[in-house]
Chains A and B, each alone.
Chain A
Amino acid sequence: MSLRDHFDAVTADTDRADGLAVDRDKAIAIAVFLIPGLTLFTIFSVAPIVYSAIGSFYSWDTFTMEHFVGFDNWIRSLTDPLIVNWSNMREFQYPMGALTHNLLWVVLHVPASTFLGLALALLFADLKGRRILRSMVFAGFTVPPIVIGLVLMFVYDPQAGIFNEFLRVIGQGHLVRNWTQSPQVAIYALIAGGIWVHTGFSMLLYSSALSAIDPSLIESAKVDGANAWRRFWDIIWPLVKPVTAVVVIMGIIWVMRMFDIVYAAGGAAGGPNHAYSVLGIEVYRAAFRPQIDYGMAMVVALLQLFIVAPLALYIARMR
């Protein structure tokens, strides 16, 4: 049956006003239109996820699926110190495992970039030249993350880096070091870079949310006797709450998928002795670097998916 036939059928049925038949033909027509998109979606999104989910229960000889091993891959991966390093965590020594590093990003990066974004948005709201300031802050977010990683390498370089130069200028020369290669501090240096980039994104969302607030609400609160803090806490903060949800969740998703910045700064190992490796790096190394361990790559990738998917779903269903 060609598409033309479907159209004809739909029209004909409408004429007959036969409710059930119309619905059925409509459904077929809808399906026909959905097929191209769904096909691509299935090939490139659903199939790999399903393939990984199945593959994570099999043993692998490089790229060949061999036999069912139950939860072996899962147990091996989750107890791997590269993913969660319990003993180092107890002593607060890096590396503490990729999953831990990712969660550290969530705990530090997300609140910091959210509040900084809100603060800048509030600061720029009534400022002259706010467009230029906003563009400057947002510019960071438009740069590819891999470039950000390379820029951070320069910023933190012990000789040429501007950050170390700054330390020297303010008389803190003893702190000068190669920030991206010092295991105990490197992750914070990278998180700071991530905050710089991501603040532009949250600032942009907050700026538009703030400009959507009716100015007479603020004036009304002023006349009612609210000082600047009450106006923020009682009016602005509740009104930008939906944006906060988006900013926080997008932030979590962004850092859970973190790869480029870490790769640029620390290569496939994720820093000296994996000091700031993240899940993305572990997936990459397990899948594409010898010793290739497809089972583990699949498990870690699924782990990322389990954390990110519910958040993505929440955003997708938000009103």
Chain B
Amino acid sequence: MARIQLEHITKRYEDVTAVDDVSMEIEDGEFVTFVGPSGCGKSTTMETVAGLTKPTEGKVYIGDREVTNLAPKDRGVAMVFQNIALFPHMDVFENISFGLRLRKYDDEEVRRRVEQAADIVQLEGMLDRMPDEMSGGQRQRVAIARAIVRNPDVFLMDEPLANLDAKLRVHMRTELQRLHRELGTTIIYVTHDQAEAMTMSNRIAVLNEGKLQQLAPPLECYNEPANLFVAGFIGSPSMNFVEGELTATGFESENVDVAFEPELVPSVERGDTLTLGVRPEDVHLVETADDVTEQTDELYATADVLEPMGDEVFVYLLLSEDADRSMEQEPATAPNQLLMSVTPDTDIHEGKEVAVVLDRSKIHLFETATGNALRHRLTERSDSDSGPTATEADS
């Protein structure tokens, strides 16, 4: 068990900066997920912890030791790879025991620990199988057993479920959570799948273009995204963004106006460009918005495309300033599009003209120029109700 600390980690390849000044602390026993699009530097950051990549600048600590220049084997880490990486010429027992045998444990100890590890991942009775005789899920378990058998301080998992089919992936997700609960080992988990990140981790580290965007518990990333990137990346389907201007009465754009006291966002001035963000589930039809205590003014739109998902329906709305003008609008372009999610029993069809409201308590405001979040709710209550990021921005 150990806590991990990254101090100003930067990794540059010839002309590419893969990781750009990333610092973070991961507590002992914590499950932290690095998430981000391909090429965001999440795997490289993990490799600096594993010792497979040496950072150009910065320091890595595991426990109390600085390990920046230590070989992988001396760091007390175990790693599970995306493509599973079992040795194809060794059977399950040999695969799991490889690290132990290299460390010259006696045969009895090796057998005892391999059996224990196989037990934890439910692989009893398969120790003499070859990797090519096993299913993807079983192989993934062998890879995990190979990691836990050495009793490492830290588990590093690089997209371990990416090559499994969707059903197995969901199953293994819960298995990994169970494993984390049983072993209590610090886990760093890399994925580009934000659903995995949301469901498994204590905290998520969102990375983009080599930079750490936000390190926070999953729901905080969802409800109080630190910037436009996190807001757009976490959550599926993504948040709606509308670009507009800060005026004396609030937010104004071509199709969406939201009134609020400009004092709510003191760090920007009137006339500055803002981006308003609202998630599809926080857009409501007027007739079903009774539960929403603080609503914006009505917006008029035409239901353009419906996407029934079974448990919900995604409605692509084309906004217009009022219902009568909808026919004169330009064809569907991003600025006047809004995605709404409704329950399947909603009375709506393609082409129907509707009035919608936004939930003021779920509206996010970002400074367009920097992308940083300014405020996470537009309720007219005291500052204590707004999220920490907003408070930060206020101060």
Complex Cα spacing A241 to B88, Å: 12
Asked if A150 is at the interface of the complex by the 8 Å CB criterion, the answer is no
Smallest distance from the beta carbon of A219 to chain B beta carbons, Å?
A: 5
The distance in angstroms between the C-alpha atoms of A220 and B82, with both chains bound, is 11
The stretch of B95-103, B110-118, B246-254, B355-363 in contact with A is B95-103
- With A217-B87, A238-B89, A239-B89 in contact, do A224 and B82 touch (Cβ < 8 Å)? no
Q: Is the CB of A223 within 8 A of B52?
A: yes
Selected contact of B85 from candidates A219, A238, A241, CB within 8 Å: A219
Q: How many B residues, CB 8 Å from partner?
A: 23
Q: State how many angstroms separate the Cβ of B254 from the closest Cβ of chain A.
A: 50
Cross-chain contact of A239 among B52, B73, B88 (Cβ < 8 A): B88
Contacts of A235 in B (CB 8 A): 87
Report A-chain residues with C-beta under 8 Å of the C-beta of B98.
Answer: 221, 224, 226, 234
For residues 214 through 251 of chain A, which have their beta carbon under 8 Å from a beta carbon of chain B?
214, 216-217, 219-226, 230, 234-235, 238-239, 241
CB-CB under 8 A from A219, the residues of chain B are 50, 52, 72, 79, 81, 85
Say whether B279 faces chain A, with CB atoms less than 8 Å apart. Answer: no
Asked if B285 lies at the interface with its beta carbon under 8 angstroms from chain A, I say no
Question: In the bound complex, do residue A226 and residue B102 qualify as a contact, i.e. CB atoms below 8 Å apart?
Answer: yes
Any A CB within 8 A of the CB of B375:
no
Q: What's the Cα separation between A221 and B103 when bound, in Å?
A: 12
How far apart sit A51 and B72, CA to CA, in the bound complex (Å)? Answer: 65
A224-B82 Cα distance, complex, nearest whole Å: 16
Beta-carbon contact of A224 and B102 below 8 Å: yes
CB neighbours (8 Å) of A234 from chain B are 87, 98
Residues of A within 8 A of B156 (CB): 223
A-B contact number at CB 8 A: 58
Residue ID in chain B nearest A215 by CB atoms: B85
With known contacts A222-B73, A238-B89, A216–B102 Cβ distance under 8 A: no
**Residue B264 at the A interface, CB < 8 A?**
no
Query: Of all chain B residues, which has the CB nearest A219?
Result: B52
Given contacts A214-B83, A216-B82, A230-B102, contact A224 B146 (CB under 8 A): yes
Q: Is the CB of A216 within 8 A of B85?
A: yes
Nearest Cβ distance between residue B182 and chain A, in whole angstroms?
Answer: 22
- Residues of A near B99 (CB, < 8 A) are 224-225
With A230-B102, A238-B89, A239-B88 known to touch, is A223 a contact of B73 (CB < 8 Å)? yes
Known contacts A222-B73, A224-B102, A224-B146; A216 and B89 CB within 8 A of each other: no
Give the complex CA separation of A230 and B52 in angstroms. 17
Task: Give Cα A284 to B51, complex, Å.
Answer: 62
Q: Mark B172-202, 1 if CB is under 8 A from A, else 0.
A: 0000000000000000000000000000000
Q: Contacts of A238 on B, CB cut-off 8 Å?
A: 89
Q: How far is the CB of A107 from chain B (nearest CB, A)?
A: 28
Residues in A whose Cβ lies below 8 Å from that of B79:
219-220, 223
- In the complex, A226→B97 CA distance in Å? 12
C-alpha gap A216/B190 in the complex (Å): 15
| Complex contacts, B87 vs chain A, CB 8 Å | 217, 220-221, 234-235
Complex Cα spacing A214 to B87, Å: 10
Query: Does B78 belong to the interface (CB within 8 Å)?
Result: yes
Can you report 19 A-B residue pairs in the complex whose CB atoms are below 8 A from each other? A214-B85, A216-B82, A217-B87, A219-B52, A219-B81, A220-B79, A220-B81, A220-B87, A222-B71, A223-B52, A223-B72, A223-B73, A223-B79, A224-B102, A224-B146, A225-B72, A226-B73, A226-B98, A230-B102
